[in-house]
Structure 1
Amino acid sequence: MLAIGLGVLALAVWASRDQANLAKVGNCLTNKGTAASPDLVIVDCEATPAEFRVLKVVPDTSATSACNGVAGMKQVYAYQSKAKQVVLCLGPAK
């Protein structure tokens, strides 16, 4: 998968090991992996490890351009497995 940055860091993953495919608007996430191999986990927004808040969820695509114009967006995460594609538009957790 190729994730194209929109002037922000674009994260991408093929495996289904993380919880990105379960994230909903308002959820907070932390990356237990690296920028090159992310492993996003849903966490309590008040918890210390919360890094990102989901601002928008765009199902059935891996096009990071789906986050263009989302207010407060700092990063884009494109998730793709054999069964599902989703793009998360992420802002700061706090």
Structure 2
Amino acid sequence: MSDDAVNPEEVRHVAELARVGLADDEVDQFTRQFADILEYFETLDEVPEVDREADLVNVMRPDETRDSLDSEDALRNAPETEDGYFKGPNVS
């Protein structure tokens, strides 16, 4: 990777977008680090592809319909109810 892949102006621009203040020495440090990161991505491009099975199979079971609880049974153990609904604590 060439050293001009990331320049200090780009780092300053990204820092401004992120609303992060950077000193000049930090800009230089991040410029080098960003260039290193981009170089790592180029290394990943060199990794050979792995053969895999192309046909995927749904391993989930089909949905089954069942009878549900009626409102009275559902609310029976609720600590507090109001107008046929569960009542929870107020959130401020």
TM-score by length of 1: 0.18
The structure with higher relative contact order (CA 8 Å, sep 6+) is 1
TM-score by length of 2: 0.19
Larger radius of gyration: 2
Looking at secondary structure, tell me which structure has more strand per residue: 1
